[in-house]
Amino acid sequence: MKHTISYGKGNIALYRSYAAPLTGLKPVAESAYHGQPNTIFAVDLEVEVLGDVFLPSYTEGDNSRVVPTATITNFALQKALSFTGATVEQFLHYLGGEYLTKYADMEGLRLTASELPFHPIPLTSDAGQTTTPSDRLLAPTFDVYSTAELLINRAGAQELESGLRRIKLIKLTGSAFDGFPRDEFTTLPERVDRPLYIFMEMGWHYTDLQDGLSADVSRYIAPRQVYDVIAHTFHDFVSMSIQHLLHEFGQRLLARFPQMSGVWFRAQNRLWDTAAEAPDRPDKVFMDPRPPYGHIRYAVKR
pLDDT, residue 224, reads 97
Q: What distance in Å separates the CA atoms of residue 218 and residue 27, rounded to the nearest whole number?
A: 9
Cβ atoms within 10 Å, residue 233 = 19
| Nearest C-alpha neighbor of 230 from the set 294, 286, 166 | 166
Whether 86 has a pLDDT exceeding 80, the answer reads: yes
How far is the C-alpha of 108 from the C-alpha of 164, rounded, in Å?
25
**DSSP codes joined into one string, 22-40:** B--PPP-TT-----B--SE
pLDDT at 249: 98
Q: With a cut of 90, say whether residue 254 has pLDDT above it.
A: yes
* 69 given a catalytic annotation: yes
Q: Using an 8 Å Cβ cutoff, are 150 and 89 in contact?
A: yes
CA proximity to 231, closest of 256, 212, 205, 213: 256
**Residue % of the chain over a pLDDT of 90:** 85
* C-alpha to C-alpha distance for 198 and 269, rounded to whole angstroms: 5
Answer yes or no: are the C-beta atoms of 299 and 264 closer than 8 Å. Answer: yes
3-state secondary structure of 188: coil
* pLDDT tens digits for range 174-194: 998 888 888 888 888 888 888
pLDDT at 8 exceeding the cut of 80:
yes
The answer to whether residues 160 and 149 touch, using CB atoms and an 8 Å cutoff, is yes
More confident residue, 29 or 184: 29
User: Would you state the pLDDT for residue 190?
Assistant: 85
DSSP 69: H
For residues 220-241, average pLDDT: 96
**Contact (Cβ atoms closer than 8 angstroms) between residue 147 and residue 164:** yes
The pLDDT score that the predictor gives to residue 130 is 84
Catalytic residue among 9, 39, 73, 233: 9
Average the pLDDT over 252-265 and give the result: 98
Q: Quick check: 268 and 295 in contact, CB under 8 A? A: yes
Q: What is the pLDDT of residues 90-124, one digit of tens each?
A: 999 999 999 999 999 999 999 999 999 999 999 99
Q: What would the mean pLDDT of 143-163 be, rounded to a whole number?
A: 97
Quick check: is 73 catalytic? Answer: no
- pLDDT band (50, 70, 90) for residue 1: confident
Please state the rounded mean pLDDT for residues 75-101.
98
The pLDDT assigned to 179 comes to: 85
What is the pLDDT averaged over residues 31-59?
96
Would you say the C-alpha torsion 59, 62, 67, 71 has a positive or negative sign? positive
- Kindly state the average pLDDT of the residues 36-63: 96
Cβ–Cβ under 8 Å, residues 190 and 178: yes
CB 223 within 8 A of CB 273: no
Start-to-end CA distance of the chain, whole Å, equals 40
The gap from C-alpha 287 to its chain's centroid, in whole angstroms, comes to 28
Report residue 69's pLDDT band, with 50, 70 and 90 as the boundaries.
very high
Closest CA to 215 of 25, 76, 14, 47: 25
What domains, with CATH codes, occur in the chain?
A: 7-162 (3.10.270.10), 165-301 (3.10.270.10)
Confidence (pLDDT) at 177: 86
Give the relative orientation of helices 88-102 and 69-80 as an angle to the nearest 10 degrees: 130
Res. 161 pLDDT band, cuts 50 70 90? very high
Taking alpha carbons only, the member of 93, 91, 63 closest to residue 77 is: 91
Inform me whether the pLDDT recorded for 149 exceeds 90: yes
The active-site residue, picked from 4, 26, 69, 186, is: 69
pLDDT for res 126? 75
